[in-house]
Structure 1
Amino acid sequence: MKRSLQILIFSAALLAGIKYLEQVFESPHHLINTANGFRELSDENNVDILFLGSSHMFASINPYVIDKNTRSISFNLGTDGLRLQFTSIMLEEALKTTKPKLVVVEVFRGSVSKIETEVSKGFQLRGLDFVSNFSLNKFDRVKENFLFSEYPGVYSRLLRNHSSWSEKDFLNLNREFQINLNKNLYYSGYFGARIRLSDELRNQYSGFRLKERKIDTTFNFLKPIYLNELERLVQLSRVHGFELLLMTAPDLRASEVNNYLYTQLSAFADENELNYLNLSSNEKFDELDISFDDFKDASHLNLNGGEKVSQYLSEYINENYSLSDRSNEDVFIARISDYEKMHFGKEVYNCDIGFALTDSLLITNLQILKPRKNYIIKMNFEDRGNSNNKYRIGAHMFPQAGYEDELDENSKVKDRDFDVGTGIITDASKPLEVILYSEIRNIERLTFFLYDINGYKGKIGETLVIKGDQLLLSEQ
């Protein structure tokens, strides 16, 4: 009896020690933040919409925008470089604590490419770490994609990272990634970059919306390993009773490469009575009004692009799926409030102005918010002529004399004496939100004006001018 007790105590201590060391040797990355946030939310509340995929997913879909417009609760489980074949096991893990009504899976060329580099293998391990080591399906995916000699490192962070023991903090076990909120917005798995595409990449992809897409049917993207995974996702949707939506996020590189994958995905969706959204097509680029200002690099959207895609997807979900209205629930109200406090920051201007930009189009209300970085401008309109004209609206912010050093770097490079924000008015009955990339605090004036939707050919109508001393920045 005494010996049995000793063995039991020793075993418990050994297991506790191993668990501790597994935490010590975990490497910080933002999927840890995402996993912790998801478990905290789903332990107490059901999640209606789940988003899974690669970094294209976590850079494209903002759950706040989805939640507010669909009156649901959503979460983004996208992770760096995830290959398609690991999606179903991540979803199975999530299904242990929540019962979604809709699951959106992002697929692009990188999702169906070989795992050839150590960096790429490391990205897959992040997704695999989200999944319990007791999952038999996880073991099947590991067998298909890793060498037998790699199994110990796949299943154990300690064995994977043991050589870096001297760099580890043995006291602080928090391995969440320290996100610079001046450079990125992070919320419920969404990672919105506050930077814009470089001039070099703008030149490289010049005319991307006009280029005809290449379709080479001789190359089969959906090899058995990927087709089987899509079929597993369909099966999960039937067993667990959720709708499955496939999507491809906007990618500048789509204008240069073989797009046959997206034809194959569309055919698979049709065969299985699913919806598929290719937001990287020329048609969707035009519909979304995607521009260089919506990207942080050639393959990932920035905060502005994520706003556009999330708004579009919200409308698509409302039109094609039926979700319960949860807007009166405490969890919904708290999530919306927390996000708005974090992202929108202090309101520095709010006025019902009734300013006529043209004879028929008025700005009825203008609100300006100052979060950690840049400015967010919200506008409401009235179209008295019911003309349904579509315009772009420009917002220019000018610094006071002597404070030109506060101009955005992009403005300095282009030798402008103002910072710029732009938006597109497609429906005057809906509010418009514009991000103005600027850190100017000593503001001389803000101007707002319309111009042609197809590009600047001169101002249309009247210019609204807001003096800098009307903005309440001094208290920040």
Structure 2
Amino acid sequence: MQDFKEKKRTVKKAAVLLVIFLILLLALAAFFKSMALNYPEFVQSRNRPWVNIQSERDDSIDVLVLGDSESYTTFSPMEIWQQDGISSFVCGQTGQEIEETYYMLKTALRTQKPKIVVFETNSMFQPQSVSEGIQKMIAQTANYYLPVFLLHSMWQNWVMGPEKQQVYYKGFVVRDIVEPYTGGDYMEKTDRKEEISLIVRFYMDRIVRMCKEEGCSVILYSAPSPHNYNYAKHNTLTEYAEQMGAAYVDFNLMTEELGIDWEKDSLDNGDHLNVLGAEKLSRYFGSYLKQNYELEDHRGEAEYQSFDDMVVQYQKARKNAAKKIEVILKYLREKK
């Protein structure tokens, strides 16, 4: 009997300690989230999109973009705003994995009701085993519900000072480097298909279903990237989009239509586009959105002043970037 009472007391103590621990975690999570929203300059650069989308005015984003670095180096909301007045925002991250995409979308949908969710498809081909997927699922679920894990590195920046941040133009990052792609045609036709891993397929299905439940149209797009794309992936993505009732735009088959110049528009030998390539893709994408979806032109509206203000900053950055790219190209040509 004594042993039973002792065990009962031990269980109660453990339960009390667990409750206290969870309360502390929740309190820390709330504290770090509040600090991140108020002092975003102290947030690690990779996690800034998570903060920035939550800082946008509620229900102000009509087009939400997700994906890895292929998204935030190709889809420029400022180009689209200048041309069409469509409010868009890129929630892309370096190496964003599919689990992160899922929870980034859930985070954005807390405050935004986009009419369209756009997904850059490169991360669909990141291989993941089931065990890796389970580990990442647990980690990203914890980050979503307890952002203290996502934002814990903030304290280092408080002590050492904020790290040098990329400048985000509604999620887009101006890339002012050029390294030409010289490999020639990379979209040779084939009937072969590239495999999508089970975990990635599971999460992509959830992402598309979530969008449809929220009343969002879904567009998949593949950015021009000889390093990442081929016709086998095109076949897979075309089939997947048809199965899920999503639109699919493969810009790798449209480089001539876009006017992509692989000498000037490539950031890093065909992996990403620089700002010159991004503006070409974005202008086309803006026209595509305007022609195929009912989206309002918000230019001049008081509620969208942040877009009008940011365009001025973006134009300066774009102009400086173009000048820098020309200098680099001149050096490369003279070096030959």
Partner of residue 414, structure 1: 333
The structural deviation recorded for 1:70 is 3.1
Partner of residue 289, structure 1: 259
Larger radius of gyration: 1
SS in 1 for 2:145: coil
Partner of residue 213, structure 2: 239
Partner of residue 9, structure 2: none
How many residues align? The count is 303
The structural deviation recorded for 1:236 is 1.4
Instruction: Give the residue type in structure 2 aligned to 1:36.
Output: V
Distance 1:231 1:14, change over 3 A: closer
Instruction: Give the residue type in structure 2 aligned to 1:104.
Output: V
Partner of residue 119, structure 2: 105
Give me the whole-angstrom Cα distance separating, in 1, the residues matched to 2:165 and 2:287. Answer: 33
Instruction: Give the residue type in structure 1 aligned to 2:311.
Output: Y
Q: What are the equivalent positions in structure 2 for 1:330-409 lying under 5 Å apart? A: 330-340=302-312, 342-345=313-316, 371-375=319-323, 408-409=327-328
Structure 1 contact 29–177 (Cα < 8 Å) conserved:
no
1:132 aligns with 2:144: yes
Normalising by the residue count of structure 2, what TM-score does the alignment of the two structures yield? 0.75
Give me the whole-angstrom Cα distance separating, in 1, the residues matched to 2:105 and 2:282. Answer: 21
Structure 2 contact 124–196 (Cα < 8 Å) conserved:
no
Q: What are the equivalent positions in structure 2 for 1:208-223 lying under 5 Å apart? A: 208=185, 211-213=186-188, 215=190, 217=192, 220-223=194-197
Distance 1:175 1:95, change over 3 A: farther
Q: What are the equivalent positions in structure 2 for 1:6-405 lying under 5 Å apart? A: 18=28, 29-42=44-57, 44-108=58-122, 110-114=123-127, 128=140, 132-133=144-145, 155=149, 158=152, 168-171=156-159, 177-179=164-166, 186-197=168-179, 202-203=181-182, 205=183, 207-208=184-185, 211-213=186-188, 215=190, 217=192, 220-253=194-227, 258-281=230-253, 284-292=254-262, 293-297=264-268, 298-340=270-312, 342-345=313-316, 371-375=319-323
Instruction: Give the residue type in structure 2 aligned to 1:235.
Output: R
Q: For 1:220-279, what per-residue CA distance to the aligned partner results, in whole angstroms no more than 9, with x for missing partners? A: 51233232223222211221111110111110225xx65322212112222333210011
Q: Cα RMSD between the aligned structures?
A: 4.0
Structure 2 contact 220–249 (Cα < 8 Å) conserved:
yes
The structural deviation recorded for 1:106 is 0.8
Q: For 1:342-366, what per-residue CA distance to the aligned partner results, in whole angstroms no more than 9, with x for missing partners? A: 1334xxxxxxxxxxxxxxxxxxxxx
Greater share of residues in helix: 2
SS in 2 for 1:408: helix
Higher relative contact order structure (alpha carbons within 8 Å, sequence separation ≥ 6) = 2
The structural deviation recorded for 1:130 is 10
Distance 1:193 1:235, change over 3 A: same
Structure 2 contact 73–173 (Cα < 8 Å) conserved:
yes
The structural deviation recorded for 1:11 is 8.5
Identity over the aligned pairs, expressed in percent? Answer: 22
Partner of residue 398, structure 1: none
Structure 1 contact 60–310 (Cα < 8 Å) conserved:
yes
The structural deviation recorded for 1:39 is 1.4
Structure 1 contact 93–131 (Cα < 8 Å) conserved:
no
Distance 1:115 1:80, change over 3 A: farther
Instruction: Give the residue type in structure 2 aligned to 1:288.
Output: L
For structure 2, list consecutive stretches of 5 or more residues without a partner in the other structure: 1-16
Normalising by the residue count of structure 1, what TM-score does the alignment of the two structures yield? 0.55
Distance 1:213 1:373, change over 3 A: closer
Instruction: Give the residue type in structure 2 aligned to 1:69.
Output: Q
Give me the whole-angstrom Cα distance separating, in 1, the residues matched to 2:53 and 2:286. Answer: 20
SS in 2 for 1:311: helix
The structural deviation recorded for 1:18 is 4.3
Structure 1 contact 51–77 (Cα < 8 Å) conserved:
yes
For structure 1, list consecutive stretches of 5 or more residues without a partner in the other structure: 1-6, 136-153, 180-184, 346-368, 377-406, 417-476
Structure 1 contact 103–245 (Cα < 8 Å) conserved:
yes
The structural deviation recorded for 1:77 is 0.3
The structural deviation recorded for 1:47 is 1.0
Partner of residue 424, structure 1: none
